[in-house]
Amino acid sequence: MTIGSINLDHQVCVDILPRRGETVISRSLNQGVGGKGANQAVAAARAGARSALIGFIGDDAQSRGILERLQVLGVDVSGVIAVAGVPSGSALVVREVSGENFIVVNSGANAAGDLPLSELENAIVRAEVVVVQGELPPEVTGLVIDTAGRLGTRVVVNLAPVTSIGGAIRWADPLVVNEVEAAQLLDTVETDGVELAKQLRERVRSVVVTLGARGAVYTEGADVLHVPAPRVDDIVDTTGAGDATVGVLAAHLARGESLGRAVEHAVRAGSASVRFAGAAEGYPSFAEVVL
Ligand code: ADP
Ligand code: NA
């Protein structure tokens, strides 16, 4: 089960990113479901897991459209809560043809929702694995992790963006971050993935650090092991690659696989996702990924 952000993404594509004060014309407009929570729930479903999502949307027609899309993409949205009087979260993704981009997010309902503790507990005890990210308010993220830890349900924590969730982080099994987030969390200039994973290991149950085109490293006891990514020559869009990795990782952990096996599947899925445009809307079926 994933608890996290749900957005409507608006992606425009420009020849050159605008500078301050400049207006540029887009080549195209693509709209689709986004937000790390939604992306990861879709990725888990695409890997063949029963995937439920808890999160917050607005109570307007556009928000209902987001829910319908998520259902089409295989996600159980019965736990999504509509918040009155706010729009759903949205993200404006301005992508340059070169692949460079910038993103502006309006949190909307993601920052306005309230999750009753009893409902949270009911959902967590029913789940094999709980997945959270850093896009909901830190106190919500912290509460979810603490509740999962207290109830003995495994919790995958993708602390992206890095937010301050206090002691709750100790339950993370694994903590999944990219190299930049790992360094930020540790407040270090260290850039070596193995070293970052070793240092993070002190604070959590297990660690996965993703390394982009180089794959990922994960901790196994005192060891840090590397899973290389398959080489991809036809990269289309790396948006949501990390979310594909996290969702597929959780799907395989929920099946009872070891962290190492799950990371192997997750890395292949992340690499497969960069061959398709967009995030959730462009994920292939990860059950059949061959690279
Ligand atoms: P994030 O998107 O969160 O920054 P990464 O860039 O580390 O995460 O990417 C997550 C995963 O996606 C990697 O572990 C890898 O499997 C895959 N991936 C990302 N970029 C590439 C690439 N250029 N070539 C092949 N695989 C990639
Ligand atoms: Na993609």
Q: What are the pLDDT digits (tens) for 7-54?
A: 999 999 999 999 999 999 999 999 999 999 999 999 999 999 999 999
CB 291 near ligand 1, within 6 Å: no
* Residue 98 binned pLDDT confidence (cut-offs 50, 70, 90): confident
Q: What is the mean pLDDT of residues 205-215?
A: 98
Residue whose CA is at the smallest distance from ligand 1 atom 23: 213
Report the DSSP beta bridge partners of residue 246.
Answer: none
- Whether 290 has a pLDDT exceeding 70, the answer reads no
What span, in angstroms and rounded, lies between the C-alpha atoms of 52 and 77? 6
Q: What is the pLDDT of residues 232-260, one digit of tens each?
A: 999 888 889 999 999 999 999 999 999 99
d(CA 3, CA 119): 12
What CATH number has the domain spanning 36-87+110-288? 3.40.1190.20
Give catalytic status of residue 60 as yes or no. no
Question: Who's near 232: CB < 8 A, 6+ residues apart?
Answer: 213, 271, 274, 275, 291
Given the DSSP bridges, would you call strands 101-106 and 207-210 parallel, antiparallel or unpaired? unpaired
Strands 29-34 and 7-14: antiparallel
Q: Is 223 annotated as a binding residue?
A: no
Q: Is the pLDDT of residue 288 over 80?
A: no
